[in-house]
Amino acid sequence: MELICKEDTEMLKDVKAIKEVVLTGNDLSLEQLIAVSRYDAKLSFDPDAVARIKASRALIDDIVNSDRVVYGVTTGFGSLCRVHISKEDCAQLQENLIRTHSCGYGKPLSREVTRAAMTIRANALVKGYSGIRLSTLQTLVDMINKGVHPYIPEKGSLGASGDLAPLAHMVLPMLGLGDAEYQGTVMPGKEAMEKAGIPIIHLEAKEGLALINGTPILTAMGVFALWEGMSLLKQSDIAAALSIEAQRGIIDAFDERLHVIRPHRGQLDTAYNMRNLLSGSTYVTHQGQLKVQDAYCLRCVPQIHGASKDALGFVKEKVDIEINAATDNPIVLPDGDVISGGNFHGEPMALPFDFLGIGISEIANVSERRLERLINNSLSGFPSFLVKHSGLNSGFMITQYAAAALVSENKVLAHPASVDSIPSCENQEDLVSMGAHAARKAGEIAFNARRVVATEILAACQAIDLREGEGFKLGTGTQAAYDAVRKSNDFIAYDKDIEMFKELEKITDLVQAGGILEAVEDKVDLKFF
């Protein structure tokens, strides 16, 4: 068994420590994006980018002045690309684009997803391939820094040509239109900009297209699903370790010698985590001591959790690329060439975000199975539903029902969105990615999975308390987890003393805030990536 140590192997850095992020267009990290989006780190852009942005803009001005035919600059959009736009109308074309494309529907994106989308778009523009004016980019950055958050409905994107409808809503307040949230209040966009001291702008040629023709909305939604999933995967290892101790499970299944002969990275990391979490535990047993082997949900934790870790590792690689990519159309190259292509297409992220949803869904699936084993007297030997005086008291009975409902919903949500398509724009845009759907579903799956894992953790701690007096000792990592839980939630002796949903809300909030994870990682090293 490895020595327990705090190595610098953690993927989840203390993003709160990041106070400023300088955009270069090439090296925005996931942690930096979270710092800006969730913890209000300030944004600036690399001074070296100024020359690139100005050079790119000069090329657009030259195109307009020379009346050169370039898609979206001197032509209409989509199937209207065959319609020539005069020099005099190029600016009006861009404002019209924003006014007509802002047709999203549904509840607004969260504050943090909105900020992430704006940051991703700004980082793409900093690359200098979009032909936007420096002043327009500065307006977008000022909105992020001063907290003007456009009201962006969550539905309406096909994920190609990018996130047109929701991004148009992002631009509206820049023009003094639409709505925005400022200091906790939703108000007209013009009012929000005035209160924040940010002048509204008038778009010039290509600028509207540069702002809305890309994938930042679907990417931002997927980023927060990924971030949630990364935290949840570590916490699912903690949940499993607590459940194993409660049921006096067999630790041999996590022996390093077993896993190095099937060396999937996620499997190796999970087995390592389980050994560290359970180090020093006297609850755990060895094969043949009480039983020969455990059920799959206990014995196969490295293989099951590990596969999800590998899935999320793949998704993160794609996210790292996408948040540093130029995703609009056309692309303005430094040599003066303007290439109309398909960098706005969401397919490179649609498939990974579908995979993300599947990976997180499976974590909830196996967690619910461990929950069932804890509360089922015939499987665990504990009092039915983990309550001493069952019959009058139902204890944890319906927690499994609720968890089962969530995992069943996740199975529906895990159906890939990316296998669907529907033609648009007079069949010019004849295969779209549905990447925004994939990302939004992954977020909902993560939301559901959080509750399932939290329920397992609470039930496992209840079961451990039912073994009080048996003289066993928790592992170093699991003891830290147990202590964190008991600061939030007490042992449940009688139904009359609790309202179960309130108990579940407390433990779910603790999981979401990372309180359990933080307590554990202060004591032991947990690997992921």
Domain shared by 85 and 210, yes or no: yes
CATH of the domain at 418: 1.20.200.10
251 and 130 within one domain: no
Which range among 110-119, 381-390, 400-409 shows the weakest confidence by mean pLDDT? 381-390
- Is 511 among the domain residues? yes
Give the whole-angstrom CA distance, residue 161 versus residue 188.
27
Residues classed as catalytic: 71
Claim to verify: residue 411 and residue 472 sit in the same structural domain = yes
455 is a domain residue: yes
Residues 487, 367 within the same domain = yes
Residue 272 lies in a domain: yes
Same domain, 462 and 434: yes
Q: Give tens-digit pLDDT for 176-217.
A: 999 999 999 999 999 999 999 999 999 999 899 999 999 999
pLDDT of residue 423: 79
Does residue 174 carry a pLDDT above 70?
A: yes
- Clarify whether residues 322 and 469 are in a common domain: yes
User: Are 409 and 451 in contact, with CB atoms under 8 Å apart?
Assistant: no
Work out how many domains the chain is built from and give that number: 2
In a domain, residue 2? The reply is no
Task: Give the residue from 171, 188, 214 where a domain finishes.
Answer: 214
Q: 470 by DSSP, 3-state: which? A: coil
**DSSP letters along 54-120, please?**
HHHHHHHHHHHHTT---TTTTB-SGGGGGSB--GGGHHHHHHHHHHHH---EEEEPPHHHHHHHHHH
* Rounded-to-integer distance, Cα 272 and Cα 457, Å: 20
69-77 average pLDDT score = 82
**Residue at a domain's end among 197, 214, 231:** 214
Q: Are residues 272 and 182 in the same domain?
A: no
Structural domain ending residue among the three candidates 175, 197, 214: 214
Domain with 158 in it: 15-214
Q: Does one domain contain both 450 and 493?
A: yes
Shared domain check, 137 and 264: no
Question: CA dihedral defined by 297, 301, 306, 312, rounded to 10 degrees?
Answer: 60
Confidence band (pLDDT; 50, 70, 90) for 4? very low
Q: Are residues 33 and 67 in the same domain?
A: yes
**Residues 210 and 237 reside in one and the same domain:** no
pLDDT of residue 434: 77
pLDDT at 389: 87
Q: Are residues 202 and 53 in the same domain?
A: yes
Q: Is residue 6 included in any domain, yes or no?
A: no
The CATH number linked to 61 is 1.10.275.10
Q: Is residue 527 part of a domain?
A: no
Domain membership of residue 146 (yes or no) is yes
* pLDDT interval class at 375 (50, 70, 90): very high
Specify if 439 maps to a domain: yes
Q: What is 317-332 written as a DSSP string?
A: HHHHHHTTS---SSEE
CB neighbourhood size of 512 (10 A): 16
Residue 529 has what pLDDT?
Answer: 67
pTM over 0.85: yes
